[in-house]
Structures are given as C-alpha cells and as structure tokens.
Amino acid sequence: MNGTISADELKQLAGRRGEAQWVDVRSASEYAAGHVPGAINIPMEQIEARLGDLRPDGPIVLICQSGVRARLTAALLEPRRTDVTVLDGGTSAWVSAGFPVVVNAATRWALERQVRLVAGLLVVMGVVLALTVNPHWLYLSGFVGLGLAFAGLTNICAMASLLCKMPWNRSRRLRPATPSAQGQTCSLRNVSSAGGDSETIVP
C-alpha cells in the first residue's frame, strides 16, 4: 500500500483491519471528538518518538482531518517506512461518505488549546487597556509573548501548569457502573452530510 486511499476503499478494508494499522495523527481532543472506528491516536508531533507503537509487520493508514497533516506525517515516516498510505480527505471525507465515527461526548479541551485561548485573551486585553486606560498595560501583552517564547524554547509552560490545577482539568470521579451500563464502551455517531446524526451504544 502506498499513496492515498479513498474513504470508500478504506471502508471496504474495515472487515480486514488486521492487514493494516490505522493511525489518527490529530490532537487527542480532535480524536476524541470523532474518529474513524479502529484508528489509534498518535499525534503528528509525537510520531517520530513513538515509532515503537507502529506495527512493523503490516502497512499503515494515516488519518487526519482533511489529509494535510497525514501527508506531512507520511513524509516524516518516509525514511523509515515505505508502506504508508494517507486517507484522502481525512476524517471529513469519511463523515461526508456517511460512515460512522467514534465519539467521546465528554471531551474536555486539550491543554494546548486552553493555553492558546488564555494567552490570546491576555494579549487582546493588554492592547485594549493600553489604548483606553493606561499605556503601561501594553507590558501585559509583551509579558505574555515573552512567556510563550520561553515555553517554546524550554518546553516549560507556567500557564499550562496553572491551568492543570483548574477544576475543569482535574480527574473526574468515576461512578460505579450500573447493570444496564456494564459492557458499554463507546458510542458510534453516524453523521450525515446533511447535518443529522444518530448515536448508538456499542457493547
């Protein structure tokens, strides 16, 4: 297998999934929001550090949202693997074809996304306050920019550490499973291109 594969062709391989390993290279939050059934999650930025998670004895199908990141990931793997295929159109093409995706309805925002949101709001607030209240507020925007640059250089992010302590990022207490819920593992949402969806629990 090499090059690209269409959503219809990939669907036909579903019954023979043991022949290929399907890898979703999007972020964990994107993956949880809806992914092709059977695909494992290895974000693009982790692929080179997690080569051991890729099966050495079979081809690999890379999946992202539209196909762009999957192609970039395939280029990263090219020196090591020649049996890599990209889902043309990504998860969007899969959904447009009317095929189901696995959805975790209780997904929280990824920490990286939270950092981007808070940093952006602080920069905008600093600029607005500098223009309307006091020019010294511009230092807030500069401080945030300096912090992001430091985080990029050292991989140490004080804002991420602070956000980790927020209530919405703490581990949820699991409730005991009821008899009716035992054996239920996930849900399959069949999303149509018209915008309707149906959800069934898969044991």
Give the catalytic positions in this structure.
64
CB 22 within 8 A of CB 61: yes
Query: How many CB atoms lie under 10 A from the CB of residue 177?
Result: 10
d(CA 53, CA 63): 16
Name the strand (E) or helix (H) holding 85.
strand 84-87
Which of 91, 107, 106 shows the shortest CA–CA distance to 22?
91
d(CA 113, CA 127): 21
Which of 80, 101, 97 shows the shortest CA–CA distance to 22?
101
- The phi-psi region of residue 160 (left if phi > 0; otherwise alpha if psi is between -120 and 50; otherwise beta) is alpha
